[in-house]
Amino acid sequence: MPFDFHFGNMNGGFGPDGQGFTPPPPRERKPRKAIGNKATRVLINIVVTLVVGAAYFYLRLPALNLHAEEFYTFVLLLCAVYVGCALFTSGFQGEGVKGYFGFVKKQCTIPFLVLIVMVATIAVGALTSWVVFRAASYSELLPIKTGDFAAEVDEISYGQIPMVDRDSAARLGARKLGELADMVSQFEVLPNYTQINYQGRPVRVTSLGYADLIKWFTNRSEGLPAYLIVDMVSQDVEVVRLKEGMKYTTAEHLGRNLYRHLRFGYPTFMFAEPVFEIDEEGMPWWVCPRMVKSIGLFGGTDIKGAVLVNAVTGESQYYEEVPSWVDQVYVAELIMQQYDYYGQYHNGFFNSIFGQRDVTITTDGYNYIAIGDDVYMYTGVTSVTSDQSNIGFLLSNQRTKETSFYSVAGATEESAMRSAEGQVQQMSYIATFPLLLNIADQPTYFMALKDAAGLVKMYAMVNVEQYQIVATGQTVADCEINYRQMLANNNLIEKEDATISGGEEDMGPAEFEITDIRTAVIDGSTNYFLGAGTYEEQGQVYYRISAADAPHAALLEVGDWVMLGYDRLQEPERFTNLEKEPIYTIYRATYLNPESSGPSGDSGQTPAEAGGDVPAA
């Protein structure tokens, strides 16, 4: 018998008569009951809002300041929490946006009005801070004077050149901490090495930090026991142990955390990132620059004084003019930003986009240089077209913001770095960001050359105005002597200025006929040992010079006459036999004159001819 299937319509299900059925109507929501009376609900709303606000303030630490953007986030959060709590406690079950909006207007009048005021303030503040309308004000944030580099920047000797950059300082600090058995398992070195002048020497300083949360918990009662000083010239690292540990640092938690300590002490202040410094007595401090907005509500970021916090006791004081021992108040990035405002907008906002007449910007990167008792930030200035040349550079005092522009056309820092790397391309060394120095009244880029492991292998100097003049050396002294020789050879300085002398050295020439030549690869560079003859008190005398310092040494032969430069007060390497009789004496030479072709009277002598033994430097 046939089967009959009766399907309902497509809008229903199966039914006995083939007809669809209508789904049941949605269940009506149970009305929520309001909590207590109106006064109780308001009290609950306020308490919940205050609790959430207090927790947010403790964790996020917003500045209670109309110029601080995070302040508006904080207030809007409080309004949102109050409204959400009011909806819950009142049992309100509105339908649609209109229903909820009506509830907020009637039942949350004060938060609603605060919300409107905040939004209006943000809009007006953003408009009054907009660079399109305030270009002239932005261009005047950084007062700039024009200076004479050779006259204003003192010439620096190689004994004062800072050789340690931030990465090298971090390596030295970590290595030093690893030598301290009582600290290495409990503490680590904070990465923020601050460059300062300490007792007349350029150094980098940083605090220790707790290795982890457990180490903090077990050591917090005593605080952090020491800080590190890295001498940027000698590369010595000193661990300064404190009689009383540092209890207020960025590595702390809870109430002794530096950021929280500052916020509770100065709730309306906006702060730039605190930096760690020490005064001339070695007492550790946190220098906390106070940040202000000088254009409209949100524009024209600047620094106005600083709060100094004693890292041991937590005592703090605000100074509009900080003490002279403080070196770092103005952040380098802020100075560069303010110059960029000047360079782009001093001829108006639209000129920065369309005509671009006299539009300049800072180059990518900066470094620090010690001048007198202050630390100055250096950065190059180039045209907005971003070509490979600078039109000059800035030096800005990090404590006072006194800024000078020096008009010196030359290579950008990036070009100088590539030029230095090209000089030793067979080594594949990488140049660090250069430091600007005055060498023989010549603006000079100085940089370290590192291997793939980040270890400094050589140093390089590049003339700013003629960046094809590149000198390298395995020591800073070698590098400077080679550089001065190249300056003299290019008629940029006088011949008599091509030699250097320091307090414990006596640079002089040695002229002789080569009696022997030997080679050895040391630290990846070929070194030539040029024999100068045999002497009773010294044995066979050799002068060692690197191929990187004098590439033409590879062309020398036995019997050639040469003139070398060397420190006559250096302590040479001496080798003796079992009877303590001298076999070899090796002096380190710093430059080689390839033009010497024969003896020249009294112009140069070997150490033995000059009087035998050489006293220790």
Instruction: Quote the CA–CA distance of 13 and 36 in Å, as a whole number.
Output: 47
Buried b (16+ CB within 10 A) or exposed e, 552-573: ebeebeeebebbbbbbbbbebe
543's enclosing H/E stretch is: strand 539-546
Tell me the per-residue pLDDT of 573-610, one tens digit each, with 9 for 90 and over: 888 777 778 888 888 887 776 554 445 444 445 555 44
Per-residue pLDDT, averaged over 152-180, amounts to: 76
From the list 398, 390, 340, the residue with the least C-alpha distance to 368 is 398
Tell me the per-residue pLDDT of 471-522, one tens digit each, with 9 for 90 and over: 888 778 778 888 888 888 888 887 777 766 544 555 567 778 899 999 888 7
Q: What angle do CA 312, 315, 320 make, to 5 degrees?
A: 125
Please give the residue that has the higher pLDDT: either 199 or 406: 406
Token output for 61 = 């630490």
51-60, 151-160, 298-307: least confident range: 151-160
Token output for 40 = 């109780």
pLDDT band at 268 (very low <50, low <70, confident <90, very high): very high
* Distances from the Cα of 290 to the Cα of 276, 301, 304, 394, angstroms: 15, 10, 6, 23
Expressed in percent and rounded to 5, the helix, strand and coil fractions of the chain are 30, 30, 40
* Residue 310 reports pLDDT greater than 90: yes
Beta strand 410-411 pairing with 430-431? unpaired
Report pTM. Answer: 0.70
